[in-house]
């Protein structure tokens, strides 16, 4: 297979039934035409064989600095978020630049092998030396032709509750972080949490950076920092640049409060990231029975017209021992736990790991299969969103700026018993 792709034939596009051919010139889509019939392939084109040509997957929320450290030095035995933070605090003093870079690059390879081309990583900046942050800034530059990487300055142990928390955040931004993070539910007091949210938005306004806060990641129905973040974003008129990640406490809010909250959320136009596999694992841990699922109200947020996307959060780290870079697995799990398998939801479910993530990362201008845009796309097994999810197949091709990042042959069955269907 050539390193450059110039033409794709017999491809399906999302939301369309017919077959399409796509041509690529100088790394951009130069023609997208519907086909009246199936075309025969020649040596210079890639035959999609009726499979879906889709914009690349977007991983909007992952912790690359902690990836692949599960069990080092100790395992999280309780499965709580809080023990995860404790275990990570034991691993943090062992960090070196080489250690962070090699694990982050391995994890990025896993993501790329599974069709991801856009990544937002949270990097813990509650470290006086900012070792992980500095390593991640180097990696971003190293991989920039293959992957769009955004770095969040993430204060794992708090901004107000950690020594020099504010200075470390500001230093991280001057070193190259793209996004300002926060963790209000983990601050020592509610007041610290509130102040930190207002400060984060002020800093974003001053620096022109995006915002992505770990917001209310707890089963406490009294954790109400989302309303503070959304209000500050609304008043600064920067909702589209602001993201609330997790918001798992919303699962536990009463419906009357939620009805009032949703008015604000719609006005603020902020984005939401849910990490359903992570939340169903970490949340509900202080319940007996019935146990809460602890996932934010994805279905209701979507129905209210807000942008929601799914992320993996962890790949084999102190919070979550599994994970393999496959966003289709997260999507499958998420739509189960959020009761989102009505046909109208299923038929555009890939939005949750593609377009909505791109909107959250604010990369829409270069994202999507459209004439004149960069030829960034993947080929998925299946003709449409529903088939792709049913098959849970592998990503067959991933192309960035017309260049192949990954090509894979469909899995071939060697032997399988045939049944006579006619009987």
Query: Which residues are known to be catalytic?
Result: 217
Cα–Cα distance between 233 and 308 in angstroms, integer? Answer: 17
CB nearer to ligand 17E: pick between 63 and 359: 63
Question: In the range 265-304, which residues lie near Fe ion by CB under 5 A?
Answer: none
Answer for the pair 218, 193: CB distance below 8 angstroms, yes or no.
Answer: no
Dist. CA 63–CA 151, nearest whole Å? 10
Say how many residues touch ligand 17E, by CB under 6 A. 10
313 lines the binding site for Fe ion (CB under 5 A): yes
- Cβ proximity to ligand 17E, 62 vs 234, nearer residue: 62
**Binding segment toward Fe ion, per CB under 5 A, in 69-77, 78-86, 253-261, 309-317:** 309-317
Query: How far apart are CB 83 and ligand 17E at their closest, in Å?
Result: 11
Question: Which range of residues in 250-258, 311-319, 391-399, 409-417 is near ligand 17E by CB under 6 A?
Answer: 311-319
Cβ-closest residue to ligand 17E? 319
Candidates 325, 312, 257, 318; CA nearest to 279 is 312
Q: Which of 83, 178, 216, 278 binds ligand 17E (CB under 6 A)?
A: 278
Residue 69 touches which of ligand 17E, Fe ion, none (Cβ within 5-8 Å per kind): none
Among 310, 283, 314, smallest CA distance to 124 is for 314
Burial of 346 (0-12, 13-18, 19+ CB in 10 A): middle
Q: Does 120 bind ligand 17E (CB under 6 A)?
A: no
377, 399 contact by CB (below 8 A): yes
Tokens of 184: 């209000």
> Which residues, listed in sequence order, are joined to residue 320 by a DSSP beta bridge?
317
The H or E element spanning position 301 is helix 298-303
Find the binding residues for ligand 17E in span 318-337 (CB under 6 A): 319
Verify binding: residue 214, ligand 17E, rule CB under 6 A. Answer: yes
313 binds ligand 17E, rule: CB under 6 A: yes
What is the nearest approach in angstroms of ligand 17E to the Cβ of residue 227?
20
Dihedral over alpha carbons 140, 138, 154, 310 (to 10 degrees): 20
- Beta bridge partners, 404, equal 399
| Cβ-based nearer residue to ligand 17E, 85 or 194 | 85
Q: How many CA atoms lie within 13 A of 152 on its CB side?
A: 30
Minimum distance of Fe ion from residue 68's CB (angstroms): 16
Judged by beta carbon distances under 5 to 8 A according to partner kind, the member of Fe ion, ligand 17E, none in contact with residue 314 is ligand 17E
Tokens 């928390």 appear where?
165
Q: Please, which residues bridge with residue 273 across strands?
A: 245, 309
For Fe ion, give the closer residue by CB, 51 or 243.
243
Q: Which is nearer to Fe ion, 170 or 313 (CB)?
A: 313
In this chain, which stretch among 191-199, 236-244, 312-320, 362-370 interacts with ligand 17E, using CB under 6 A? 312-320
Shortest distance, CB of residue 88 to ligand 17E, whole angstroms? 7
d(CA 135, CA 125): 12
CA nearest to 14, candidates 406, 392, 385, 389: 385
Nearer to Fe ion (CB atom), residue 62 or residue 375: 62
59 near Fe ion (CB under 5 A): no
CB nearer to Fe ion: pick between 179 and 406: 179
Question: CA geometry: angle at 116 spanning 295 and 356, to 5°?
Answer: 50
The contact set with ligand 17E (CB under 6 A) reads: 63, 81, 156, 183, 214, 217, 278, 313-314, 319
Residues near Fe ion (CB under 5 A) are: 313
């Amino acid at each position: 297979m050539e390193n450059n792709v110039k033409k794709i034939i017999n491809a399906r596009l999302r939301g369309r039934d017919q077959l399409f051919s796509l041509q690529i010139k100088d790394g951009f889509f130069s023609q997208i035409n519907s086909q009246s019939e199936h075309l025969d392939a020649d040596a210079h084109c890639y035959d999609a064989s009726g499979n879906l040509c889709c914009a690349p997957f977007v991983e909007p929320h992952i912790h690359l600095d902690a990836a692949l450290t599960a069990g080092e030095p100790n395992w999280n035995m309780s499965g709580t978020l809080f023990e995860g933070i404790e275990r990570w605090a034991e691993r943090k003093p062992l960090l070196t630049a080489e250690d962070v870079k090699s694990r982050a690059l391995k994890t990025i390879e896993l993501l790329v092998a599974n069709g991801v081309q856009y990544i937002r990583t949270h990097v813990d900046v509650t470290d006086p030396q900012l070792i992980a942050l500095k390593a991640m800034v180097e990696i971003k530059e190293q991989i920039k032709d293959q992957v769009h990487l955004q770095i969040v300055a993430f204060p794992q142990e708090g901004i107000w509750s950690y020594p020099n928390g504010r200075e470390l955040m500001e230093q991280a931004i001057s070193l190259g972080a793209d996004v300002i993070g926060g963790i209000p539910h983990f601050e020592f007091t509610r007041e610290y949490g509130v102040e930190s949210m207002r400060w984060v938005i002020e800093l974003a306004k001053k620096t022109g950076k995006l915002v992505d806060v770990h917001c209310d990641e707890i089963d406490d129905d009294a954790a109400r920092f989302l309303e503070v973040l959304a209000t500050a974003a609304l008043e600064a008129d920067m909702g589209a640049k602001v993201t609330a990640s997790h918001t798992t406490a919303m699962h536990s809010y009463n419906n009357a409060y939620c009805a009032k909250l949703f008015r604000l959320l719609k006005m603020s136009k902020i984005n939401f990231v849910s990490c359903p596999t992570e939340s169903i694992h970490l949340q509900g841990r202080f319940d007996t029975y019935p146990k809460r699922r602890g996932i934010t109200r994805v279905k209701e947020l979507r129905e209210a017209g807000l942008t929601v996307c799914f992320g993996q959060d962890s790949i084999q780290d102190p919070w979550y021992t599994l994970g393999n870079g496959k966003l289709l697995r997260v999507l499958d799990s998420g739509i189960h736990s959020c009761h989102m398998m009505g046909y109208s939801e299923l038929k555009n479910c890939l939005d949750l790991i593609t377009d909505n993530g791109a909107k959250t990362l604010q990369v829409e201008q270069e994202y999507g299969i459209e004439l004149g845009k960069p030829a960034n796309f993947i080929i998925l097994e299946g003709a449409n969103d529903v088939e792709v999810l049913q098959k849970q197949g592998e990503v067959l091709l991933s192309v960035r700026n017309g260049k192949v990042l990954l090509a894979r042959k469909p899995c071939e069955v060697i032997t399988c018993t045939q049944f006579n269907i006619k009987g």
